[in-house]
A and B are shown apart, each in its own frame.
Chain A
Amino acid sequence: MPRYRDLTHTARPSDAPRVVDPKNPIRTTDPGALQMLEMIKDKNIETVYDRVVAQQPQCAFGYKGICCRICIAGPCRVKKEDGPGSRGICGASAYTIVSRNIVRMIAGGAASHSEHARHVLHTAHALVDGHADDYEIKSPAKLHKLAEKLGVATLDRGDKDILRDVVEIGYADFGRYQDRPLAFLDSFMTEGRRKKFQHTNIMPRNIDGSITELIAQTAMGVDSDPVNIIFGGLKSALADLGGEYIGTNLSDVLFGIPEPIVSEANLGVINPKMVNIAVHGHNPVLSEMVVAAARAMKEEAVKVGAEGVNIVGICCTGNELLMREGVYLATSSASQEMAILTGALDAMVVDIQCIYPAVQTIAECYHTKVITTEAIMKVPSAQHIAFNTTTAMEDAKKLIKIAIEAYKHRDPKKISIPNEKHKLVAGFSVEALTEIFSKINPERPISVLTDAIQSGQLKGVCLMAGCNNLKRAQDESHITVLKELVKNDVFVISTGCSSGAFAKFGLMSPLAVDTYAGEGLKSFIQTLEAANPQLATGLPLVFHVGSCVDNSRAVDLAVAMANELGVDIPKVPFVASAPEAMHEKAVAIGSWCITMGLPTHVGSLPPVEGSDLVYGITTQIAHDVFGGNFIFEVDPVIGASKLLDALEYRTWKLGIHRQTAEKNDTAIAQGW
């Protein structure tokens, strides 16, 4: 386990309340959302914030993970320290129950991300087979790079041919039965990680099999060894990462590698003069088509009196489009209902994940049409337009038509759009960051970042990711952790609804650098800007690397830094934080972060406290084995200071290992 310089920082969380102000329904700090809540104050409209209050106090057994519902002899709860009451009916003790519950969440997360990946893969497959004429290989460069990593021949071959082989490998990764590692995972790792995963037997050979195996492993009457169960869970977590690699990389091939792009965020981007369509969920396959269709159908919108069609994003679909197309980001997950409350949203087109069933209930108070598009994602009484890659553009146009039709039924009395919107710069794929760094050092671009850390200008890198969790007010933890980190010269990259929070608050803009960045970070960003006059914009305080699937980009950066430093990832001053984790996907991501060797702060306690063993493994022993460990801390200020401590720990150790190696004229010690 790591022991930090600050002796008050232990593996245990502080005493801060787990649910802040549980009776208060004003559970957001987002200025746009606050304006909406103010607006509906007297209107008897139920939102997510009310439901959080209604759920309090939440079940303490469930919260600690000691409620077992895996078979219908249960539910069983761990009620006592000793004796029959300390075990389930079958004899499963707390550590078995807690570990089974938590790894099943990993399975859920891995299933979600890989479902996303599978959809992108199917689209690419349809494209090479000639059944998806509306799509193209937008980035041959990415395809070639990817092919090279995967060992696919590229010489004298057409792009579609190459893509066909890449897709085959992707499919194989879903269902391989030989004892060979997941190709999309294996090809991106450091040598050290690859070996670590193989030696600890958590290197997955496929995605679907790992998830299925995990469910089988944790069924009633199978595995009761918590350590074995956790290792099984970690295998699925790595399968999740493999799925993310497939998702990100193939999306880049089909839709382009993100580049720095300027846009705006928060509810103020909803334009009263336009037909407004929110695309919500996670997958770019449909929403990219919606964007294209909207451009094509401007005239039809004009015909009904609008100035055009305005696509706005919510959640990670929003992030995907923001990164590649500069589409406005209306809001993030916890405030998704707020977009409908503006009264000017004509349609909400959703794909998968993080979509509250409640959007339909709220939409019923307005003219807004909620339209589901995926076979596995339907909402009673919402419209469903089955989306097919073969007829993608046609389907997208149908959706826009519904919105244009709905526009006619807007009730002007109900329109109330907050005048809250902020400029932002997004689009920082690792390729884009590398390009920016290469203007300073063309041979070894990543050394620009690692040198700044080693010289003390920067304290390290933090990936901020994850959801909203309303145990605290929405976005408060994201914003607080970010401010603490940047003040202390941490280079922050972000994904998902963490990005959403920063964008909505205006923190993803170059303007924020002066106000919030510490001197080191400020000078670092200034140096980058000075070397990159070709960029039409300044650089932001925090670098948006994409949707939650794009957390794989953060791994790419960590791997590149490790290779640059000549060490494995556990020695790289790189940490992760999910201040408001909520989804099963966050459990999967957090778990692979640990195995990748990243200290990972989580601001909302996952259900593991019911077993000291499981808690101890995740927060302490994981560090000894893999180099990463969870830092569970609900107070965002303390959480941030623990992250800074974790960075300091690494820089300190690496520095001493370097000095020692120089003194003794040896290679650098590889321990962490």
Chain B
Amino acid sequence: MSMEEIYADAIKDPNNQPKKLLRRTYDGTTIAMTYAEILLNRAIKDFGTEQEVGYPDTAYHLPVITCLSGEKVTKLGELVPILNRMRSQIRTELTFENARLWGESTLYAAEVIETINYLRGEEPKVKPWTGFLGDPIVRKHGIKMVDWTIPGVAVILGRAKDSQAAKKIVDNLMGKGFMIFLCDEVIEQLLEVNVKIGEDYIAFPLGNFTQIIHAVNYAFRAGLAFGGIPAGERENHRDYQRRRIRAFVLSLGETDDVKLAASMGAIFMGFPTISDQVLPEDMQIPDWYVSEPDYEKIVPLAMEVRGIKLTNIEIPIPVNFGPAFEGESIRKAETYVEFGGGRSTAFELVQSVGPDEVVDGQVTVIGPEIDTVPEGSRLPLGIRIDIFGRKMQDDFEGVLERRIHYFANYGEGIWHVAQRDLCWVRISKDARAKGFLIKHLGELLLAKLKQEFPAIVDRVQVTLITDQAAVEEGLVKARERYRARDDRMRSLTDESVEDFYSCLLCQSFAPNHVCIVTPERVGLCGAVSWLDAKASFEIAPNGPNQPIPKGPAIDELKGMWQSTNDYLFKASNNTLEEVNLYTLMDKPMTSCGCFEAIMAIVPEANGLMLTTREHSGMTPCGMTFSSLAGTCGGGMQTPGFMGIGRTYLLSKKFIPADGGLSRIVWMPKELKEFLREDFIQRSIDEGLGADFIDKIADESVGTTVEEIIPFLEENGHPCFNLEPLM
């Protein structure tokens, strides 16, 4: 179905258009266009046409314009013809068809206005307000948005009838796992009643007025970054938005002409607007601009109109639950009770057991429940999860155990870090006040395991231990299990296994991308290990992870197999014929868009540099992470550049064909710290010495080749003695 066809049924009788809505939308468009023009020409007067413009932390220039027209604007003067083109597509006749073009023009106007705001340094944003959201954030949450792990996107603007009503809507959406963009007074309303909003909660308070465009330029970047749709393919981008971004707009409180024009911009992208105002017929367009004054019905209606169906189950716990709370941190002062973290004994263990050793659905607490201990207590904790499944394997224990971290953090007011016997859990005062008990952590884990892994999990029971003696007893057994698992892991090498696994999860947005996951090469997102892929195959035999029987190698050193080539060709829709797993210089693996880190060659140093999604600064190859990602993402093979998972650096199979670890000449400090201990061990194993990590330059040394070469020379970095890379 073409984009325009989806609007076909909205206006039943072309002679009976919603005149009032259209007239006000037209007025709003006029206001936005002229306001943009006034600001633009004044800015040109002040700065000149050659003035550089752009948003911070993005490789996509002005994303709305990049997407829709392909123009990569870098200078102020370039905006004049673009804005004029948008002015001249405005037709006065009041029809829904014309109105969508007014909507498009309004998106451009808002992008121009905000670009100039950034140029002027007006209204610098302070936490939790975000303004423009940089590429790192788009990448962090974007995949979940387009693969529908995040079931939908709600854009809320205006002011709800009262703050509690605003909270109710947002709590509801957060509980369902929505991504939320906020604009205008609803932000203050939510702050007033202490709803957690901000970057950490996937609920972005953008700002006021035209700053709503930052929801739009976020969404458009998904099509560029994950959809692999080239800049300027307007219809394909709209189509991608309509198909993959399940967004709707909630317009709360009295509206105005400019808001109406902006809503029409959303409609142009395929997103409906629901208003909480009572609207006459000539102020509505069925399925697209709809009135629903009942706050109980507004979210269900929005979901219905946008076609969002939830697969999530309700979990019987007294706090909100969803990915919105994944990034929430709980500081000491906010903590009601904490467990582990080196301060008390703790462990977590998933074990595979026989069918008679588990009472399905049972949650047991051994030791004191947290309502019997005073605020500020510290308790020991054992989390033991017994699973029976016909398809369950011992190998999956670690995979499922790692899920404890994610699932626990989904709970509002529950914080979990680290793993195994280092795990550290906090429960906030707020959560406790809402009635949260340690038992509920068990309910939560139980429900999520059953929901997410139905194919391998048949029966589950969760035991939570807060009694010191019982925890210690459990810990001994847990450590035995960890040891056994580690021994098994060590034996898992690329050579020792029969099958590699593919990962095509990202093809929903990068259609030709093929990840090949081996025991010694984690998927480039960092989230899919060989064991994960294997488990995933058991869960969904026709899913994104398929076994690739390895067979004999064509090139052991570079890592090429006939089997992987054959698989690649088909899976890349016949676009790629060969892939080497152990080099970035020759037919390297493709990069989708969600890699944790990216490598690039530094020819002057005969080495490689790495930068991460978290590092927004400049690097010695002259590009930031965002620009690098923009150049080689989208499922292409780009020799000399490659996206990887962070821990791939610690693998024995880290680009052996290119010389391995010794090639690394620069990486961000944060990555050094993240990997430090293991990295030093790997350096010793490779004969590079314990101090190799200090020979690698970072941003404190410099961010240009000129700055780092003397450092590398002084510190005796081995790169200069290696074989020439090129």
Which A positions have Cβ atoms within 8 angstroms of B? 1-3, 5, 7, 10-11, 81, 95, 195, 198-201, 225-228, 231, 612-613, 616-617, 620-621, 624-625, 652-653, 656-657, 659-661, 664, 666-672
The answer to whether A195 and B122 touch (CB under 8 A), given A3-B159, A612-B23, is: yes
A613-B257 CB under 8 A given contacts A199-B122, A201-B38, A656-B192: yes
Residue in B35, B188, B191, B192 whose beta carbon sits within 8 Å of that of A227 in the complex: B35
Inter-chain contacts of B127 with A (CB < 8 A)? 660, 664, 666
Residue of A nearest to B35 (CB): A227
CA distance A198 to B191 in the complex (A): 33
Interface residues of B in 142-166 (CB under 8 A from A): 158-159, 161-162
Confirm or deny: B258 has a beta carbon within 8 angstroms of a beta carbon on chain A: yes
Residues of A within 8 A of B125 (CB): 669
Q: Give chain B interface residues in 237-287, CB to chain A under 8 Å.
A: 253-254, 256-258
Q: Are B161 and A200 in contact (CB under 8 A)?
A: no
* A3 touching B254, Cβ below 8 Å: yes
Residues of B within 8 A of A (CB): 19, 23-24, 27-28, 30-31, 34-35, 38-39, 41-43, 46, 116, 120, 122-129, 158-159, 161-162, 184-185, 188, 191-192, 207-210, 253-254, 256-258
Task: Give the chain B neighbours of A616 by CB distance below 8 A.
Answer: 24, 27-28, 31, 256-257
Q: Check if B256 sits within 8 Å of A1, measured CB to CB.
A: yes
Q: Which residues of A contact B254 (CB under 8 A)?
A: 1, 3, 10-11
Q: In the bound complex, do residue A664 and residue B126 qualify as a contact, i.e. CB atoms below 8 Å apart? A: yes
**Bound CA span A657–B185, Å:** 11
Interface of B is mostly: helix
Closest to A667 in B: B126
Asked if A227 and B207 sit within 8 Å, CB to CB, the answer is: no
Assembly CA distance A135 to B546 (angstroms): 98
| Residue numbers in B under 8 Å from A7 (CB-CB) | 161, 253
User: What chain A residues lie within 8 Å of B38 (beta carbons)?
Assistant: 200-201, 227-228, 231
Chain A min CB distance to B573 (Å): 47
- Additional pairs, 7, CB under 8 Å, beyond known A613-B30, A616-B257: A1-B256, A2-B185, A10-B254, A81-B19, A613-B257, A621-B31, A621-B257
- Write the chain A residue with the least CB distance to B259: A1
Given A3-B158, A612-B27, A613-B27, do A199 and B42 touch, yes or no (CB 8 Å)? yes
CA distance A519 to B551 in the complex (A): 89
With A200-B39, A612-B257, A613-B257 known as contacts, the answer to whether A671 contacts B27 (CB < 8 A) is no
CB contacts (< 8 Å) of A671 on chain B: these are: 123, 129, 207-208
What chain A residues lie within 8 Å of B122 (beta carbons)?
A: 195, 199
Give complex CA distance A672, B209 in Å. Answer: 10
Given A200-B39, A228-B34, A612-B27, A660 and B191 contact (CB-CB distance below 8 Å): yes
Q: Which of A10, A81, A226, A661 contacts B30 (CB 8 A)?
A: A226
Q: How far is the CA of A200 from the CA of B41 in the complex (A)?
A: 10
Q: Please give, as numbers and ranges, the residues of chain A lying within 8 Å of B192 by CB-CB distance.
A: 652, 656
18 contacts between A and B (CB under 8 A): A3-B158, A3-B254, A95-B27, A95-B30, A198-B46, A201-B42, A227-B35, A227-B38, A228-B38, A612-B23, A616-B27, A616-B257, A652-B192, A660-B128, A664-B126, A668-B126, A669-B125, A672-B208
Among residues of B, the one whose C-beta sits closest to the C-beta of A666 is: B126
Instruction: List, in ascending order, chain B residues with CB within 8 A of A659's CB.
Output: 191
Residues of A within 8 A of B185 (CB): 2-3, 653
Residue of B nearest to A9 (CB): B254
Q: Which chain B residues lie closer than 8 Å to A200 at the CB level?
A: 38-39, 42
CB distance from A483 to the nearest CB of B (A): 28
Q: Is the pair B253, A3 in contact by a Cβ cutoff of 8 Å?
A: yes
Cα(A225)–Cα(B207), bound, Å? 28
A231 contacts which chain B residues (CB < 8 A)? 38
Q: In the complex, what's the smallest C-beta–C-beta distance from B279 to chain A, in angstroms?
A: 13
Contact A613 B31 (CB under 8 A): yes
Q: Are B41 and A669 in contact (CB under 8 A)?
A: no
- Whether the pair B257, A201 counts as a contact (CB closer than 8 A) is no
Tell me, in angstroms, the Cα distance from A224 to B61 when the chains sit together.
Answer: 34
Flag if A669 contacts B31 (CB, 8 Å).
Answer: no
**Contact indicator B191/A656 (Cβ below 8 Å):** yes
The residues of A that contact B19 with a CB separation of less than 8 Å are: 81
Residue from B27, B46, B258 having most chain A Cβ neighbours under 10 A? B27
- Complex contact A670–B257 (CB within 8 A): no
**Beyond A612-B24, A666-B126, is A624–B257 a contact (Cβ under 8 Å)?**
no
- Residues of chain B with a CB closer than 8 A to A670's CB: 123-124
**A621–B23 touching, CB < 8 Å:** no
> Contact check: which of B28, B123, B188 meets A656 at CB < 8 Å?
B188
Q: Is the CB of A669 within 8 A of B126?
A: yes
B residues near A228, Cβ cutoff 8 Å: 34, 38
B474 to chain A, nearest CB (A): 39
Closest-CB distance, B96 to chain A (whole angstroms): 17
CA distance A225 to B188 in the complex (A): 35
Task: For residue A637, give the distance in angstroms from its CB to the closest CB of chain B.
Answer: 21
- Answer whether A227 and B34 are a contact pair too, CB < 8 Å, given A612-B27, A656-B191, A671-B129: yes
CA distance A659 to B127 in the complex (A): 12
Asked if A621 and B256 sit within 8 Å, CB to CB, the answer is: yes
A198–B209 Cα distance when bound, in Å, is 20
Which A residues lie within 8 Å of B41 (CB)?
201
Which of B24, B34, B39, B254 counts the most chain A CB atoms within 10 A? B254
C-alpha gap A199/B46 in the complex (Å): 9
The CA-CA distance from A576 to B691 in the complex, in Å, is 70
A435 to B39, CA, bound (A): 41
Q: Find chain B residues with CB under 8 A from A5 CB.
A: 162
Which of A612, A621, A659, A672: most chain B Cβ within 10 A? A621
- Interchain CB contact under 8 A, B256 and A195: no
Which residue of A has the minimal Cβ distance to B188?
A: A656
The 5 closest A-B pairs by CB, nearest first: A227-B34, A3-B159, A666-B126, A613-B27, A3-B253
Which residues does chain B contribute within 8 Å of A2, judged by CB atoms? 185
